[in-house]
């Protein structure tokens, strides 16, 4: 079978999760004109579990029904010859182990995907704790299958343990504190499922008053930014990136991320905003959304550890534009801004920041 790309769902901010839960809870179908009908019923209280966000590069492994296995970056399939920081080469080298120990219990005819972060020395240029590892490692955080109808059935890592993920986390590393022999085996394989090496944090969020947990979300994020819990497992003290919080509601996975100020891709006034940021002008929006961290994210996503040049400007500015529209469209529309009039200014600011980064290399 021909390799097909399976993208991991976009992780939004806290405000996006609030809006999504409201939409799910209050949607009552459509009227005779086809317009949505919403009620005003009380919103749910959901339990969210959080795991630290590893500051590496998004990576995943796909197993097709015919047994073919291949690697992916955030936006494309990759091979050892056209790789992203060496992840495809690692998958190729460990195919037999991955097949025997990771992809177990998959129903016939289904495609399975394991998503995670590939992190370690040289993967990300930012000075974070996880970058100080002795070697690159894979940190899976989610698993899923493509069912017979071609739909993604995501298997939650934290809130539930379906067969695939349960087998996955128990077979690869039963616990970090197990026998020396098991630790050596896991370290040789260089694959550490995040929910197993770092105990997930639990938080109840009442969506009738989500602002009540805002300060706690910020406190936890700031603590992680001071010291990364993942690198700490390996005896390394260093900066962490933030947290990803996940829950399920009426069959849908609800996720949001909270990054520390050093890693935020927007200039946020608070780390976990509850309401949409009110923006007064196009320039203010671009200052808010098009930041150096977002441009650096574009560079890492598109070029890995390679160094781009000015001839790659179009690739970078288009990535930034698309990413801003994907993450900030709610803010754009609620502030009455025309996305068509924002594209040019977004690209112009991204170009300016990109050139500044190139000049500093």
pLDDT in tens, 345-354: 898 889 989 9
Under DSSP, is residue 70 helix (H, G, I), strand (E, B) or coil? Answer: strand
Give yes or no: residues 208 and 356 share one domain.
Answer: no
Per-residue pLDDT in tens (0 to 9) along the chain, 361 residues: 678 898 888 888 898 999 899 889 988 888 888 887 777 777 899 999 888 999 889 999 999 988 899 999 988 999 999 999 999 999 998 888 888 766 766 667 788 888 999 998 888 766 688 888 888 999 988 877 887 777 777 654 444 443 444 444 444 334 334 444 444 444 556 777 777 778 888 899 999 888 889 889 999 998 998 899 999 988 899 888 889 998 888 888 899 999 876 655 555 555 666 665 555 688 888 888 999 999 998 998 888 878 899 899 999 999 999 999 988 888 888 788 888 888 888 988 899 899 999 988 7
**Would you say residue 6 lies in a domain?**
no
Q: What is the DSSP letter of 210?
A: G
Give yes or no: residues 54 and 110 share one domain.
Answer: yes
Query: Cβ contacts of residue 322 below 8 Å, gap of 6+?
Result: none
Q: Total domain count for the chain? A: 2
Please give the pLDDT value at position 312: 92
**Would you say residue 277 lies in a domain?**
no
For tokens 């090496």, the residue is 197
Distance CA 244, CA 253 (A): 12
Please give the pLDDT value at position 81: 93
Answer with the one of 194, 227, 259 that is the final residue of a domain. Answer: 259
Apex 78 CA angle, 72 and 83, nearest 5: 115
**Proportion of the chain above pLDDT 70, given as a percent:** 81
**Would you say residue 274 lies in a domain?**
no
**Would you say residue 273 lies in a domain?**
no
**Would you say residue 1 lies in a domain?**
no
Distance CA 163, CA 358 (A): 47
- Of 316, 300, 117, which is closest to residue 197 (Cα–Cα)? 117
In contact, 359 and 301? CB cutoff 8 Å: no
pTM above 0.85, yes or no: no
Give yes or no: residues 96 and 171 share one domain.
Answer: yes
Residue 330: which domain range? Answer: 282-360
Give yes or no: residues 104 and 149 share one domain.
Answer: yes
CATH code (residue 176): 3.30.470.30
Give yes or no: residues 314 and 351 share one domain.
Answer: yes
User: With the CA atoms of 77, 82, 85 and 86 taken in that order, what torsion angle do they form, in degrees rounded to the nearest 10?
Assistant: 90
Six token digits for residue 134: 């002795």
In contact, 199 and 52? CB cutoff 8 Å: no
Give yes or no: residues 288 and 246 share one domain.
Answer: no
DSSP bridge pairs for 62:
70, 113
Please give the pLDDT value at position 191: 73
**Would you say residue 293 lies in a domain?**
yes
Give yes or no: residues 97 and 229 share one domain.
Answer: yes
Give yes or no: residues 293 and 244 share one domain.
Answer: no
Under DSSP, is residue 111 helix (H, G, I), strand (E, B) or coil? Answer: strand
Give yes or no: residues 179 and 321 share one domain.
Answer: no
Please give the pLDDT value at position 178: 42
Give yes or no: residues 316 and 235 share one domain.
Answer: no
Give yes or no: residues 36 and 125 share one domain.
Answer: yes
**Would you say residue 3 lies in a domain?**
no
**Would you say residue 147 lies in a domain?**
yes
Answer with the one of 259, 293, 309 that is the final residue of a domain. Answer: 259
Give yes or no: residues 295 and 254 share one domain.
Answer: no
């Amino acid at each position: 079978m021909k390799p097909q790309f399976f993208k991991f769902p976009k992780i939004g901010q806290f405000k996006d999760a609030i809006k999504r839960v409201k939409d799910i809870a209050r949607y009552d179908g459509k009227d005779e004109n086809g317009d949505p009908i919403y009620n005003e019923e009380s919103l749910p209280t959901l339990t969210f579990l959080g795991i630290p966000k590893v500051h590496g590069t998004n990576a995943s492994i796909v197993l097709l029904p015919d047994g073919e296995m291949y690697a992916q970056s955030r936006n494309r399939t990759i091979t050892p010859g056209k790789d992203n920081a060496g992840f495809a080469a690692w998958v190729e080298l460990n195919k037999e182990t991955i097949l025997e120990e990771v992809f177990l219990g998959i129903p016939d005819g289904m495609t399975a995907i394991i998503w995670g972060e590939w992190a370690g020395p040289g993967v990300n240029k930012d000075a974070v704790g996880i970058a100080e590892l002795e070697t690159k490692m894979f940190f899976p955080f989610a698993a899923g299958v493509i069912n017979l109808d071609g739909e993604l059935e995501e298997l939650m890592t934290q809130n539930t343990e379906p067969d695939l993920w349960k087998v996955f986390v128990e077979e690869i590393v039963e616990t970090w504190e197990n026998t020396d022999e098991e630790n050596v085996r896991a370290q040789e394989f260089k694959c550490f499922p995040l929910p197993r090496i770092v105990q997930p944090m639990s938080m109840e969020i009442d969506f009738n008053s989500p602002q009540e947990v805002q300060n706690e979300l910020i406190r936890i994020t700031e603590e992680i930014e001071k010291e990364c819990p993942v690198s700490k497992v390996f005896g390394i003290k260093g900066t962490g990136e933030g947290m990803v919080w996940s829950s399920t509601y009426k069959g849908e996975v609800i996720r949001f991320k909270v990054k520390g100020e050093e890693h935020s891709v927007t200039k946020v006034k608070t780390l976990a905003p509850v309401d949409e940021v009110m923006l007064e002008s196009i320039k203010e929006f671009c200052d808010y959304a098009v930041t150096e961290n977002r441009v650096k994210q574009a560079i890492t996503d598109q070029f890995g550890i390679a160094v781009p040049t000015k001839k790659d400007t179009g690739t970078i500015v288009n990535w930034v534009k698309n990413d801003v529209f994907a993450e900030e469209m709610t803010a754009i529309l609620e502030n009455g801004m025309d996305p068509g009039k924002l594209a040019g200014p977004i690209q112009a600011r991204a170009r300016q920041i990109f050139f500044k980064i190139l000049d500093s290399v």
